[in-house]
Structure 1
Amino acid sequence: MPTTLPHPLPGIAAFEALYGAAWVDNQATPISATTLVLAALLILVAVVALGLAWLLQAQVSKVKRLHAELLTQRSFSEGALDALPASVVIHGLNGHIVGTNAYYRQHPAAAEAMTAAILAEGFGETANGHEPREIDYTADDGISRQALIWNRPILAESGGPVGSISILIDITEFRDAERAARITDRGLRDIVQRIPVVVFTILKDTQGVRHLTFAAGDVRALFGLELADLLGMGDVLQERPLQGRIHPDDIAAFGRLISPATAGLQQRSLDFRAFGRDGLRWIHATLAPQPLPDGSVRLIGYFIDTTELNARNEALRIARDVAERASKAKADFLATMSHEIRTPMNGVIGMLELLGRTPIDAEQRELLRAVEDSADVLLQVLNDILDFSKLEAGDLRLDETLFDPRVLVDNVISVMAARAQTKGLGVHIAIDATVAGTLRGDSVRLRQILLNLLSNAIKFTERGSIAVRMVVLGDDNEHQHLRISVTDTGIGIPEEKQATLFNPFTQAEASTSRRYGGTGLGLAICRHLAELMDGSVELSSEPGVGTTVGFEVRLPVVRREVIAPAGLHGRHAVVRIGSAETAAALSEHLKSLGMTVEQSMPSQSLREGMAASLLFVDPADKDSETRISAHVIAVTGDAGPSTVRDERLFLSANPLKWQSLVRACLVVLELRDDTSPENDARFSSGGIADADPLLLSLTGVPADRGHILVAEDHPVSQKLILRQLAILGLSCEVVDNGRDAFEALSGNEYAMLLTDCNMPLMSGYELATAWRQHEAEIGSQRRLPIIAMTANALAGEAVRVRNAGMDDVLSKPLQLLPLSQKISQWLPEQPASSRSHVSNAYDATQLASLTGGNGESGLHAEMLQAFSSASRDDLLELRRCVEMDDTAAASLSLHRLLGALQLFNDGALLSQGKQLLESLHTERANEALSRLPGFALEVEALLSSLNSQLAE
């Protein structure tokens, strides 16, 4: 049977059942209206069904989209909860947990503590929840921690609860910080309660109202008020009670400190007085403004009680004033002492210098040298004391100039060598060839250090030698680090005594000053001077072996090449000397001259055909000069100048001075010194003597440099300066007071003024000031050189004379060399055609005629005559001052009298006069004035005695 398939459309099956199978035939059958209606209804139902199906599909899509969005929102919410650094748990109405975040799950100990707290009695029962609860729990790592727990209900739209949410936040760090802050605050308050200080913070709002936001300290101790007394409504600061406690004289300043007019952002401070709990107190206030973003200003500050500090400061101020007065008194004493000692020393040393240039026999010259040595020692003691005083007071200043270090060592050795050679000591010099030719520094102070070290070495060495060495320790092209040392073979110093030697007035043994003399200031001064130049001094010594003292300085290099005659540069020298020490020192000098040097010991044989420009040999070596073609210089260990004997030039290596070597080389090579024509080496049958610095300076002071006016009130000093200027070939006129000097300057043309500083009628300071004013008034195109002559060696004297209008200073006692140098510096050189033909090279006969003609006795007689004449006038003036009861004039006359008396008397009479002079400046002036007539009688008796001795 054929298979019958179900009809796909139910409607058709129905029609077939109703009308039969014939309906489906192809036969045409008429369709009734009912049929059409039913068909239409069927179609409409189908369309509606399709629409419903489409709507259902759209709704399903919307539901799926909403579901996806819900999942996204849920995922975001869960992510947000997981990101929170706190435990979060959500409970349903039945209390079951319906959700947690990652922090909750990762910290089970915190979760457990949180759950226990949530389930605690009463927690989370109300609709609005409870306030946060703080709990302590033990974390997973076993450490106790603190946390805050919030529990809040979750409400539906109807307002009813649908569950709850709980949050646990770990606040351990906050509590730790809070505890630290409390500890700090408590500590600050404890501190300010125990010290007299008040710390505060004031907030000044935009309306200008001040709010005291913080205050700590004992307000009552400082101001006699309680903190509550300073507050008005709330925390508003009341200024009136505080101002009522301020001292009336300080109220205005205190008001400016905190008033709106001074609301700048600069820190302000004030010292004022206030009435505190214990009475009037000094208080220091500091206020620091800080602007805030809203326009208000925060003022942070403090008050501190400085009463005791002010009392100590006042005591210190009084002590400082006392110290300054004492320092001034000390300075005045030193100035007076300097003047009182240097004034007679001016006559003593100056006249001794002149006496030494007169014809005297050997015994007299020996005595003269002894006197000169004693005078030099006295002057050195005075200079040491003055220098130490200036160093101690910080008044000593460096005066940097350009200098040649080799010439500096030569000059110092020239001063000290004779003293060493008199004791039979050898003197050796060694200077590295690498030492620069010209350096910048205070050559005067360097010379002083070296003089001190050499003086000590000679003083404490009885046999052996003294050696001076200069070496380069470092060189950076701009500066050289030098070490200058002095080594002796003297008594040496025990190690335990060495450290104390740099203390002032200290010597190695108690008997040293009695045996060797000295003040014990030399090394202390050397150390101070070296430190002033950023250098240092070191000492090493061994008893019985000797001592080495060296000082190091770092000096700027001005010129690296040594200034030397060009004719010596590039020549070759052979040094063939038995003494290795002398050969090495000589070689270094020759290398500095730009020569090539070859050293050969006398025991070594010479190669054939050996040649050189210069050959240096021992005096006994006459064989070497026959084997080497060279100009020969014999180097001897004997002290003395270079000489020519038996057609050989003998150069002394005791000491081997740089300038002597240069002159010897020029002489044997018959060259001229193109670096300094006036110092050209002189060759004669008698030899070449080391140039006398005075004679060298005299060649720089040609005659007819003009007429010089000298203002000097002391007759002995007048005669000395007259003779010194005569030796220098200069004419002069002398007046004895400043007023006469001013009149002389007004009526005559002078080339220079040399003036004493302390004179009657008008002092040297007043004279210089008056003359400078006169030059300005007349519009003078020429400034007269004015040189001060003063016995005051303190540092302030140079400033004082320059402030008065003077150009330079000469210290007494005056000596020919510094006098000639000052004149050469300040007197312009006249054209050669206008110079008189007066020779500056004075021989002994000429010098004798200038100093009295008959040596020591003539000089003494002339000085005594001047002293006698001046002193009688002073005595008459002294008596007149006593009669007129004029203390000031008597003091001036007595000062003049004592200045000359010291040259002829150093006993009780001189001491009595000094005591009287000192008393005239005190409250005992009247008593001293009454004793002056008796003192005058004793002086007259001394004058009579001295004149009687001279007549005999």
Structure 2
Amino acid sequence: MAEIRKPGCANGACSQTATKPELQAEGPAVFFSHLFDTSSFPERWYCGTWSTDVGWLHIISDIAIFGAYFAIPVVLLYFLLQRRDLPFPKIIWLFAAFILFCGFGHLIEAGIFWWPIYRFSGLIKACTAIVSWITVFVLIRLVPEALKLPSAALLARELQQNKERLDFALESGQIGVWEWNLKTDTLVWDQRTRKIFDTDPEMTNLCFEDFSRRLHPDDHDYVKDLIEECIKTGNPYHAHYRIIHTDGSVHYIQSQGRVVSDEEGEPEQLIGVCHDFTEKQLQENALVESELNFRSTFEQAAMGIAHVAPDGQWLRVNEGFCKIVGYQSEELLPLRIHELSHPDELETDLENMQRMLAGEIESYSIEKRYLTKQRAAVWTNMTVSLIRHQTGEPKYFIFVIENIQERKEAKEKLKAAKQTAEEANQAKSEFLANMSHELRTPLNGVIGMTELLAGTHLNQRQQEFVDACRNSGESLLNLINDILDFSKIEAGKLDLDLHDFDLEKLVFDTVSTMAWRTTEKDLELPCFVDPESRLTLKGDSYRLRQILVNLVGNAIKFTDSGEVLVRTRTVSRDQGKIRIHFSVTDTGIGISESKLNRLFQSFSQVDASTTRNYGGTGLGLVISQNLVELMGGSIGIESQEGIGSTFWFEIPFEISPSSSTSQLANTQLVNKGALIVDDNQTSRKILSDYMQEWGLKTVGTASVVEAKTAIQEACHQNQPFDIVVTDFEMPDQNGLETGRALKDSEIPVILLTSSPDTQLDPIDLQECQITLTMRKPVQRHKLLESVYHLLTSQHDEDIINTSDSKGQRQVCSQTTRILLAEDNRINQLYVTELIKQMGCHCDTALNGQEAIDAVLQNHYDLVLMDCQMPGLDGLEATRRIRELEKRGLLKNKLPIVALTANAIKGDRERCLEAGMNEYLSKPVQRDQITIVMEQFLKKNQSDDPEPHSVEILCKEKTHQPSIDSAALMKFCSGNLELISSLLDELESSGTERITQIQKSANTSDARGVAEAAHSLKGASSILCAKKLKELSSAIEQAGEAAELTEITILIEEVAEEMQRCLDDLPRLREEIYSMNSDSSE
């Protein structure tokens, strides 16, 4: 029996001992009865600080640790068995063994308190040590591998990134993800799938029926069978089907899915993805349709279509091309393009194909001939393009070939027909030129001789005969002009001559020239140009005048009484352009609406009775319409039968840079009182508007009785009128009675007459206080100029008569010699008589050679040269005369004026090109001859100054008047209208003439300087501006001699003199009116 030592033994040894067998012999009952009996505990309970409490503390703790160390390995091993994918499972097993051995160690430590089983305890501890070191060695080996494993945070980040990539890929591909739980029939769609199937994002508890409802009826069974097969076999499926959105649109869906089974292998859910490829499908459908259409077009096209290899071999041809060349398709394919191409176009064709292959051009078109199977040439129009592979390599050419053989043949026929038509047109033009000459030549004699006869002493009956003859001749002349213009219009050869012109002057001059047509009718011919239209415009003034003449003449012809009103107004104006509205309104017979559409037809009038009663060819309106449209305008008519008509037209013009609106206001006339007496309301309104523009206060009356009442009322109010303007022809009393009502006053009275034949006794005019007579239609600037002088100057009871003088105008002296080259004896007689009446000597020549001989033998101031004469014509004669001048055989440059019976385009240009100075069309009128002689003779009557050097001429400073008013009055025979026109022309164009000289000098254009100075010299000579004429003459000579080095000072001098003339114009006008008043007295 072991000894049990009691406490207090020396060296910690116990004196009391007990043996294990003894305790065991006592049986289990004794063991459990002594389990909590500490008296038999080992001696360590009593060694040192050991006590019973401490022993129990160790026992309980060791048992508790054993329980925990036993439970931990069990849990770890269970987790390991459940997670067989965990890395390093061996270390977990070692940790479990180590912990388990540690637990047994603690359990034995607790049992040692009763049983001294130290050997077994040491064995357990040895095992624990072995397992611990094995674990240590295994850990040491596993640490490097364990360190290679990613951390949980890194794995989480990578997982998140992978999820984001997956979402991005799904979003980019518009791929939806879905799950279908087969057991619960729960359908889970992500947002993309909901969008694909057009499902509300807020909708929950989706099931298979929600998906089935979206399927296209034609695809429903197909999709259902596919899914059932996938569930049955477990094989993934791939499907294409259609769905229908709520808006009824059909979408094409591509879907993939597979089965997920549970632990027992039963299908648990179906998962997959889907994609809406509608756009791609539609594109494919369109591509297929396009291919089908192309094939259909290729095969059925009327034009030839072919595919040609880069080496020129035919790859594919359609039936259209086969018909062109007469081959079957199988016959063409073995051939190459050069075998069917005409040699003349083959080189160009192949060159263009090579350029396409090189990338220089993308396509080309060519007209070429193909050779048919019968080797006949067929003209085609071919367009070629190149198709390339995706790599850029040429694949094949596409030829589109149109058969143009018939078109070519038609074009050749048209070309031949055009040539024939041009030849016929040329013949027609030559015929018209000849006819114009042949008709105008005798007509010139008829009208000319009639005019001469009218200037002799005739009784009334003879005068009627002469007037009838003259009117018939003028009607015939107008008819010839209309026919010539109409032929030009039909031939498309009517061109415009654009130049600057004064619109107001043109309109008034045109209307004034037609006033004589109203003399035999009770007609007024008022005219009004609105202030905004009073501009210098750029256009064809001749054609505009022709339109106005046609329309006004037409209105006068169909109006027996009342008025024909001519008006203009501005429609629009913008950036140097203006559109003017012209209207001619009459109170004539009018036109019914049903007949208006016939007005602008050639050789047509509203009915036959019109032609019988009024005459005419019906060409005037057609010509006017074509002229208006040629100018870019429009024309129309408004008419009521029995009431009257209004013809209107609108034309766009350019505004000349030199144009400026007249400023009419004058402080000296503001608030002056004017009485206007005229029975015609329109005339009265126009006159009133004119005067109000200058600030006058006007009162209008329609009769002499009303005028007298107005005069009395003005006197009673102590506001008498300052001036009276009265019409002469009025129903009850004429305008002289208005003057008589003012006999005792000093109020100036202007009397207006409508007829040029109105004869007024000067004694009656003086008795009736008439200060001035003017002819209707009254031109605005002349009326206002007259009013200005009458109200700002002192006048006695003078009579200023501005009517045209019937006497012959003396434009030259008896020493003036004129040569007339004319082969027609009648024309010779007429023109010679006109010249003699003007006070000049006239020699004649029958052809161009006689004219040349005459100018070599005699000195002439002017030559009137007919263009068509036998032998040497006028054009060649002029060229030879100019050549003689260049050679010095003629001293001065001789003015030559063309006389021609031609009236076709280009005739004037040919005359001027030959060296002629001016152009007159036959029959020549007295006024035309007068104007030409004034232009070329007046400047030659007064000798040109001897040549001076620039220095000497510039030093000659005199204080002579800028314009000799007395000489001007004498030169114009007292014609105030002519003087006023000349002064107006100087005022409007004087500065521009100086500017033209300066521009030519700046560009060293000696010829331009001479021409501009020559023009200024002529104008200054007519105006009797001596100093201005001398300076311009000197500049002309310097320009002709090409000596421009010293001309600057001279130009400055002429500019100063021009300004002096312009500054003197108001004084000059007043002097001329005073001189005329004195002469009348």
TM-score with structure 2 length normalisation?
0.62
User: Per the alignment, do residues 648 and 528 of structure 1 end up closer, same or farther by CA in structure 2, a change over 3 Å counting?
Assistant: same
The equivalent position to 1:620 in structure 2, one of 717, 728, 737, is: 737
Q: Are residue 489 (structure 1) and residue 611 (structure 2) matched?
A: no
Partner of 2:685: 584
Could you tell me how far 1:793 is from its partner in structure 2? 0.6
Partner of 1:691: 804
The equivalent position to 2:336 in structure 1, one of 233, 241, 255, is: 241
Could you tell me how far 1:506 is from its partner in structure 2? 0.6
The equivalent position to 2:471 in structure 1, one of 373, 385, 393, is: 373
Q: Does the CA contact (< 8 Å) of 1:571 and 1:613 recur in 2?
A: no
Partner of 2:495: 397
Partner of 1:5: 57
Q: Are residue 599 (structure 1) and residue 699 (structure 2) matched?
A: yes
Partner of 2:717: 608
The equivalent position to 1:116 in structure 2, one of 218, 225, 238, is: 225
The equivalent position to 2:596 in structure 1, one of 483, 495, 498, is: 498
User: Per the alignment, do residues 437 and 339 of structure 1 end up closer, same or farther by CA in structure 2, a change over 3 Å counting?
Assistant: same
Partner of 2:434: 336
Could you tell me how far 1:68 is from its partner in structure 2? 4.1
Q: Are residue 648 (structure 1) and residue 770 (structure 2) matched?
A: yes
Partner of 2:68: none
The equivalent position to 2:901 in structure 1, one of 791, 816, 821, is: 791
Deviation per CA, 1:858-894, whole angstroms, max 9, x where unpaired? xxxxxxxxxxxxxxxxxxxxxxxxxxxxxxxxxxxxx
Output the CA distance in 2 between the equivalents of 1:520 and 1:577.
39
Q: Are residue 572 (structure 1) and residue 672 (structure 2) matched?
A: yes
Q: Are residue 428 (structure 1) and residue 526 (structure 2) matched?
A: yes
Partner of 1:353: 451
Could you tell me how far 1:448 is from its partner in structure 2? 1.6
Partner of 1:75: 163
Output the CA distance in 1 between the equivalents of 2:361 and 2:539.
49
SS in 2 for 1:246: coil
User: Per the alignment, do residues 796 and 557 of structure 1 end up closer, same or farther by CA in structure 2, a change over 3 Å counting?
Assistant: closer
Which residues of structure 2 form unaligned runs of 5+? 1-51, 63-101, 181-185, 198-210, 261-268, 702-706, 727-734, 946-966, 975-1081
SS in 2 for 1:286: strand
Q: Does the CA contact (< 8 Å) of 1:256 and 1:262 recur in 2?
A: no
SS in 2 for 1:250: helix
Q: How does 1:20-39 map to 2 (within 5 A)?
A: none
Could you tell me how far 1:810 is from its partner in structure 2? 1.5
Which residues of structure 1 form unaligned runs of 5+? 23-34, 92-96, 155-162, 233-239, 673-681, 844-952
SS in 2 for 1:218: helix
Q: How does 1:710-789 map to 2 (within 5 A)?
A: 710-729=820-839, 733-742=843-852, 753-769=863-879, 785-789=895-899
Output the CA distance in 2 between the equivalents of 1:670 and 1:636.
24
Partner of 1:869: none
Could you tell me how far 1:358 is from its partner in structure 2? 2.8
Q: Are residue 222 (structure 1) and residue 308 (structure 2) matched?
A: no
Q: Does the CA contact (< 8 Å) of 1:612 and 1:628 recur in 2?
A: no
Partner of 1:265: 361
User: Per the alignment, do residues 828 and 121 of structure 1 end up closer, same or farther by CA in structure 2, a change over 3 Å counting?
Assistant: farther
Could you tell me how far 1:445 is from its partner in structure 2? 2.0
Output the CA distance in 2 between the equivalents of 1:477 and 1:501.
36
Could you tell me how far 1:569 is from its partner in structure 2? 6.5
Could you tell me how far 1:561 is from its partner in structure 2? 3.6
Q: Does the CA contact (< 8 Å) of 1:651 and 1:664 recur in 2?
A: no
Q: Does the CA contact (< 8 Å) of 2:516 and 2:755 recur in 1?
A: no
Output the CA distance in 2 between the equivalents of 1:122 and 1:39.
60
Output the CA distance in 2 between the equivalents of 1:631 and 1:464.
29
Could you tell me how far 1:481 is from its partner in structure 2? 4.1
Q: How many residues align?
A: 795
> Which has the higher Rg, Structure 1 or Structure 2?
2
SS in 2 for 1:425: strand
Q: Does the CA contact (< 8 Å) of 2:771 and 2:799 recur in 1?
A: no
Output the CA distance in 1 between the equivalents of 2:558 and 2:592.
14
Could you tell me how far 1:436 is from its partner in structure 2? 1.4
Could you tell me how far 1:524 is from its partner in structure 2? 1.3
User: Per the alignment, do residues 785 and 90 of structure 1 end up closer, same or farther by CA in structure 2, a change over 3 Å counting?
Assistant: farther
User: Per the alignment, do residues 353 and 610 of structure 1 end up closer, same or farther by CA in structure 2, a change over 3 Å counting?
Assistant: same
The equivalent position to 2:287 in structure 1, one of 137, 157, 181, is: 181
Q: Does the CA contact (< 8 Å) of 1:81 and 1:101 recur in 2?
A: no
Output the CA distance in 1 between the equivalents of 2:386 and 2:838.
75
SS in 1 for 2:588: coil
Partner of 2:18: none
Partner of 2:98: none
User: Per the alignment, do residues 708 and 495 of structure 1 end up closer, same or farther by CA in structure 2, a change over 3 Å counting?
Assistant: same
The equivalent position to 2:927 in structure 1, one of 817, 822, 826, is: 817
SS in 2 for 1:798: helix
Output the CA distance in 2 between the equivalents of 1:439 and 1:15.
135
Output the CA distance in 2 between the equivalents of 1:447 and 1:180.
66
Output the CA distance in 2 between the equivalents of 1:786 and 1:189.
79
Output the CA distance in 1 between the equivalents of 2:806 and 2:498.
22
Q: Does the CA contact (< 8 Å) of 1:284 and 1:305 recur in 2?
A: yes
User: Per the alignment, do residues 536 and 53 of structure 1 end up closer, same or farther by CA in structure 2, a change over 3 Å counting?
Assistant: same
Could you tell me how far 1:516 is from its partner in structure 2? 1.8
User: Per the alignment, do residues 63 and 422 of structure 1 end up closer, same or farther by CA in structure 2, a change over 3 Å counting?
Assistant: closer
Q: How does 1:632-647 map to 2 (within 5 A)?
A: 632-634=749-751, 640=758, 644-646=765-767, 647=769
Output the CA distance in 1 between the equivalents of 2:445 and 2:123.
166
Output the CA distance in 2 between the equivalents of 1:475 and 1:505.
37
TM-score with structure 1 length normalisation?
0.69
SS in 2 for 1:503: coil
Could you tell me how far 1:521 is from its partner in structure 2? 0.8
Q: Does the CA contact (< 8 Å) of 1:729 and 1:840 recur in 2?
A: no
SS in 2 for 1:422: coil
Output the CA distance in 1 between the equivalents of 2:649 and 2:666.
33
Bigger relative contact order (CA 8 A; separation at least 6): 1
Amino acid at match of 2:53: P
Partner of 2:625: 527
Could you tell me how far 1:369 is from its partner in structure 2? 1.2
Could you tell me how far 1:584 is from its partner in structure 2? 1.3
Q: How does 1:40-79 map to 2 (within 5 A)?
A: 49=135, 59=146, 62=150, 64=152, 68=156, 71-72=159-160, 75=163, 79=167
Q: Does the CA contact (< 8 Å) of 2:242 and 2:251 recur in 1?
A: yes
Amino acid at match of 2:825: P
Output the CA distance in 2 between the equivalents of 1:15 and 1:655.
152
User: Per the alignment, do residues 313 and 732 of structure 1 end up closer, same or farther by CA in structure 2, a change over 3 Å counting?
Assistant: same
Could you tell me how far 1:45 is from its partner in structure 2? 7.1
Partner of 2:1050: none
Q: CA RMSD in A?
A: 5.4
Q: How does 1:873-884 map to 2 (within 5 A)?
A: none
Output the CA distance in 2 between the equivalents of 1:261 and 1:815.
71
User: Per the alignment, do residues 200 and 610 of structure 1 end up closer, same or farther by CA in structure 2, a change over 3 Å counting?
Assistant: farther
SS in 2 for 1:461: coil
Amino acid at match of 1:272: K
Q: Does the CA contact (< 8 Å) of 1:428 and 1:653 recur in 2?
A: no
Partner of 1:416: 514
SS in 1 for 2:899: strand
User: Per the alignment, do residues 16 and 582 of structure 1 end up closer, same or farther by CA in structure 2, a change over 3 Å counting?
Assistant: closer
Deviation per CA, 1:280-307, whole angstroms, max 9, x where unpaired? 4210112356999966568655211112
Could you tell me how far 1:334 is from its partner in structure 2? 1.7
Amino acid at match of 1:495: E
SS in 1 for 2:903: coil
SS in 1 for 2:560: coil
Amino acid at match of 1:461: T
